[in-house]
Chain A
Amino acid sequence: MQLYVDSTKCSGCNACRVACSLNLFGESNPKKSALVIKPHFPVPGVYEVKVCTQCGDCAAVCPEEAIKLNSKGAWYVDFDQCNLCEACVPECPEDVMFVRVELANAAWKCDLCGDCVDMCGTSALWIEEKETAGV
């Protein structure tokens, strides 16, 4: 399974990011979410959304093997095992692997909980099997 996005449908509201932080940390704080929304305004007037493709490149380089697969087939960070080395961050092709020591004492990423999809009013986000997705 994988999270997909159609950026043309994104209205930049950030509901997905609040929901994400609530799932990952039990907090309401979009700076602690695993999605990125890049607004491009005033020109050309579009949003660009970055989401995790579950490629696993982050897990492959983690020296602590702290990035593990969950029951949904998604890579997640075991917070207790993360040593904040940041080896994973540059490996992420979508820039959605996060270490911000001022905000959290572990790295974080999308664990495919699906809450972002539930909040999105414009159906810009969805979860689908990798091989069947029509994007």
Chain B
Amino acid sequence: MNGYGGKILRVNLTTGKITKEQTPADVARDFIGGRGFGAYFLYKEVPQGADPLGPDNKLIISSGPMSGLMIPGAGKCDFTTKSPLTGGYASASMGGHFTAEIKYAGLDSIILEGISPKPVYLFINDDKIELRDAKEFWGMGTISVEKQFKDKLGEEYQVAVIGPGGENVVPYACINHDFGRQAGRGGVGAVMGVKKVKAIVIHGTKSIPVSDTTAYRQAGKALYKACKDASFLAEWTRYGTTVVTSWCDEVGALPTRNFSAGSFEDGKNLYGSVMRDKIVITDKGCFGCPSPCGKYSRSKKYSSYVEGPEYETIGLMGSNLGISDIEAVAQANLLADDAGLDTISAGNAIGWAMECYENGIFTKTDTDGVDLRFGNVEATFELIGKISRKEGLGALLSEGVKKASQKIGKGSEKFAIHVKGMEQSAYATHNATAMLLAYMTCDVGAHHNRAWAITYDLQVGRDLVVPEKVARVIWLQNFRPMFDVLGGCRLQWVELGIDRDLYIPALEAITGIHRTWVDYEKVGERIWNLTRMFWARENNGFGRSWDLPAPRFYEEAPKSGATKGQITKIEDVHRLLDMYYEQRGWNKDGMPTPERLSALNLAELVA
């Protein structure tokens, strides 16, 4: 199949059996690849009620038809599983060079099944595929393990590895790659850890077949030219995602002290310009990227090197913890990366604990004797390690803010900032209704990347609750994740503003199939509805109440900053949902109607 590696690799960890099958043409037609393959295989193959940490759950790792080809940003890899954090659908996207290598090894997806009796790593060198003993690596940090594999096997091998967080099955453990790229969210690293897979190392030398080489080369060149001609290229490349830090602070979107406000009085010390001048040494790109947002940094203060911090980490491990030293944030980032923890969820968990301490819900008896006030850098470093080892207060925080707050009670549920059990990423949404709706309805929980609607809020009026806003969120949710389906990056479109129609001839030349963006968006809608059905299948009583945001955003206005005194009314939260469900073709409780499922060719799959 043009544009594809051509095979699905299945690794049964319980039996050690490794098999390959043809990538099914009908699945490629209806779900295309990447996140689409993940959603399809998850729904079809993971039995209803499967324990996320049991042998029936699977970890589905997929490239897409863009991956590894001459398309800007063709380096995104999808990791899909039933989430141990939320009990629902998890899909985490990882940049770097791993997804390209999957294709060069002649594969499209790697499906890990069962549970290995002992620590192993999966070794792939083209058609030589083996499970190997990982005893010597078990217990080690991600950076050291990746370095050892690179030294031993060479730079052409790509490595995805879990840290102690994944080994100890922290439900928000991540998977690390390329010394700083992560499949971060939803606990994909915990699933890999419970399966006892320390790492996947992969090397491929195969060329990816395309339908029309001349047209593909021409269309690929046009895409790169558009990126290089973009007026924002230089600034974007200089700051990467941290380009938004100052803007978020100014408009009240920068999570501050556990999302109690959206502006940080010391925020200036965390801005992209400060970080660039102080610590950034190298721009680091994912595969095929002409606009590398990765910033590789060196902290003199801590004598350490780390990729990042990204904006999300600055928000959650900086301002959200009352920390204003960019070098401290970089160090916290490094500790979390090495331990294999998602910085977004970990930052939320620590922020929640700090708030519990400041308002007397926790005393030093609960915090292992630590003065856990906002701004305590050393305590933050300490807690990252404790969470990864499930030790002391870290054991509670490792459960995520939803479960931790349910255990502790005393009103702490009100400032547990999550949707569906997934901690919110770094946009404070007290008064940004489209972004709030995006978080409420995101398919994995409170994550931003499906519909990054906050700039739209500011454009059209942040407190407006109108059908147009809802329509915008839905369109973004159908369109943006298509990049995760195609195995590429959305940021050339989002940040450089290149014409999305430039992708169409490139994709046609690669796959030989003509599709417009309307066609792709329909696939996006199909996947969105399928994952919604997965949530409902796996969770009794799933529906509207699961889509509600953290009470902080409708009950408790910030006392300072750009959004001081501003809040979204609970009536407006429900109006947003009413409009959203109606426009999606869902019923009043937020479930897809049989008619909608039929129209999306999903009726048979979900029957």
Contacts and interface: CB of A to CB of B under 8 A. Distances in A.
A binds B: yes
Contacts of A42: 143, 147, 179, 305
B224 A121 contact: yes
A95 interface: no
B483 to A, nearest CB: 16
B281 A45 contact: yes
B69 interface: yes
- Most B CB within 10 A of own CB, among A11, A13, A46: A13
Given A22-B217, A118-B225, A15 B68 contact: no
A119 B305 contact: no
B155 interface: yes
Interface residues of A, number: 36
Contacts of A26: 213
Interface of A: 8-9, 11-15, 18-19, 21-22, 25-32, 38-39, 41-47, 102-103, 115, 118-122
A13 B206 contact: no
Contact of A119 (B68, B287, B290): B290
Contacts of B156: 31
Interface string B84-100: 00000000000001001
Which bracket fits the contact residues of B?
35 or more
A29 B104 contact: yes
A22 B178 CA distance: 25
Contacts of B288: 13-15, 18
A11 B292 contact: yes
A27 B296 CA distance: 31
- Most A CB within 10 A of own CB, among B228, B282, B296: B282
B523 interface: no
Given A12-B284, A13-B292, A38-B155, A119 B206 contact: no
17 contacts: A11-B283, A11-B294, A13-B286, A13-B287, A13-B288, A14-B287, A15-B224, A15-B290, A38-B155, A42-B147, A45-B281, A46-B281, A119-B70, A119-B290, A121-B290, A121-B291, A122-B290
Interface string B278-305: 0001111111111110101010000001
B304 to A, nearest CB: 9
Contacts of B233: 121
A13 B217 CA distance: 18
A118 B97 contact: no
Interface in B509-568: none
- Most B CB within 10 A of own CB, among A26, A28, A47: A28
Interface in B136-159: 143, 147, 155-156
Contacts of A41: 147, 178-179, 296, 305
Interface string B211-238: 0010001001100110110000100010
Contact of A43 (B221, B227, B305): B305
Contact of A12 (B225, B281, B285, B305): B285
A59 B290 CA distance: 33
- Most B CB within 10 A of own CB, among A11, A118, A122: A11
B285 A22 contact: no
Nearest to A46: B282
B210 interface: yes
A11 B179 CA distance: 13
Contact of B284 (A11, A25, A44, A120): A11
